[in-house]
Amino acid sequence: MIWPFKSRFRKQIARIEITGPIAGDTRKRVLEALNTVKERKFPALLLRIDSPGGTVGDSQEIYSALQHLREKVKIVASFGNISASGGVYIGMGAQHIVANPGTITGSIGVILRGNNIERLLEKIGVSFKVIKSGPYKDILAFDRELTEPEQHILQELIDTSYHQFVRTVAESRNLSEEAVRTFADGRIFTGEQALELGVIDRLGTEEEARRWAAELADLDPDKTECCTLEKPKSLINRILSNNQTPAGGLSAARNWVEFELSTNGLPLWLYRP
């Protein structure tokens, strides 16, 4: 038996929006939304991505959930102003990808940053005494340079993560890994260039992506509505999330700083302009 309130969702397209850096909060919200798509039995999903990327593990978990969902749901990803690095990785979880001609995408690669303020600490007379269980426990410590063995360890880490990224793009887009590596060197490119490289399927707007999703689900694109899945925000959060206001700009800047601090020393699939 199909309950009436559930059957109405079969005539709609679910919409999930991924914006900003991809980290723990984004992962949790998106996974919950994907579970809602499954429970309500939406026939199609429009995945709107406007993100420079983010952490490796969080991007992989969202991608994996999309892979499972696409067995029963038609998924079309729409790349917005920027969908780079981890944003590309997540997009690989959709069956089809649409981008604007001028969308900034690509940046397929891995980056890991650590801060070295050793000289500054010397100037102000600050030093640290470290007791550690092994030679690499304080790898990427901010008060000293990396040793050669540490550089080797971290490079192997980055190379492994990079291979995972390349393999996923190759498998998702029916390309060879050799072909992907020709443009997966960290460079960015436009949506138009992405189409030529085989990274996306079509050029178009979010509305055109919505219409395509409707057609794939055998729904009338002129009549089918989108149901955006998002937790209700409080009034103050809605005001602060509006980037057209000074408060919104400060909120975005604060979120970015928090992301930078929390991911320092982690491998990232992140476009850094």
Write down the mean pLDDT value for the chain: 89
pLDDT at residue 177, rounded to an integer:
98
Class of domain 4-107+185-270: alpha beta
Domain parsing of the chain, residue ranges: 4-107+185-270
pLDDT at residue 95, rounded to an integer:
97
In 3-state terms the chain splits into helix, strand, coil percentages (rounded to 5) of 45, 20, 35
Using DSSP, state whether 27 is helix, strand or coil: helix
Report the distance separating Cα 30 and Cα 42, nearest Å: 15
Active site residues: 85, 137
Report the distance separating Cα 61 and Cα 57, nearest Å: 6
Other beta carbons within 10 Å of 73: 22
Q: What is the percentage of the chain residues whose pLDDT exceeds 90?
A: 69
Residue 4 has pLDDT above 60, yes or no: no
Q: Across residues 4-30, what is the average pLDDT?
A: 88
Give tens-digit pLDDT for 135-186.
999 898 888 999 999 999 999 999 999 999 999 999 999 999 999 999 999 9
């060197």: which residue's tokens? Answer: 185
Measured in degrees and rounded to the nearest 5, phi and psi for residue 19 equal -125, 150
Residue 218 has pLDDT above 90, yes or no: yes
Residue 66 has pLDDT above 70, yes or no: yes
Residue 60 has pLDDT above 50, yes or no: yes
Closest CA to 237 of 262, 255, 257: 255
Secondary structure of 204-216 as H, E, C letters: CCHHHHHHHHHHH
Amino acid present at 106: G
Q: How confident is the model at residue 1 (pLDDT cuts 50, 70, 90)?
A: very low
Q: Across residues 120-135, what is the average pLDDT?
A: 88
Compare 168 and 127 and report the one with higher pLDDT: 168
Closest CA to 16 of 72, 78, 58, 68: 78
Report the distance separating Cα 144 and Cα 198, nearest Å: 43
**pTM attached to this predicted model:** 0.87
Q: Across residues 36-60, what is the average pLDDT?
A: 96
Which of 76-85, 185-194, 243-252 has the weakest average pLDDT? 243-252
Report the distance separating Cα 177 and Cα 179, nearest Å: 5
Q: How confident is the model at residue 263 (pLDDT cuts 50, 70, 90)?
A: confident
pLDDT at residue 231, rounded to an integer:
62
Tokens of 268: 């990232």
Report the distance separating Cα 260 and Cα 111, nearest Å: 13
Residue 245 has pLDDT above 50, yes or no: no
Report the distance separating Cα 258 and Cα 169, nearest Å: 29
pLDDT at residue 86, rounded to an integer:
97
Supply angle C-alpha 43, 49, 55, rounded to 5. Answer: 115
Q: State how far the alpha carbon of 50 is from the alpha carbons of 65, 79, 124, 129, in Å.
A: 19, 6, 42, 43
Q: Across residues 13-27, what is the average pLDDT?
A: 95
Asked if 86 and 92 touch (Cβ cutoff 8 Å), the reply is: no
Closest CA to 202 of 64, 101, 59, 67: 101
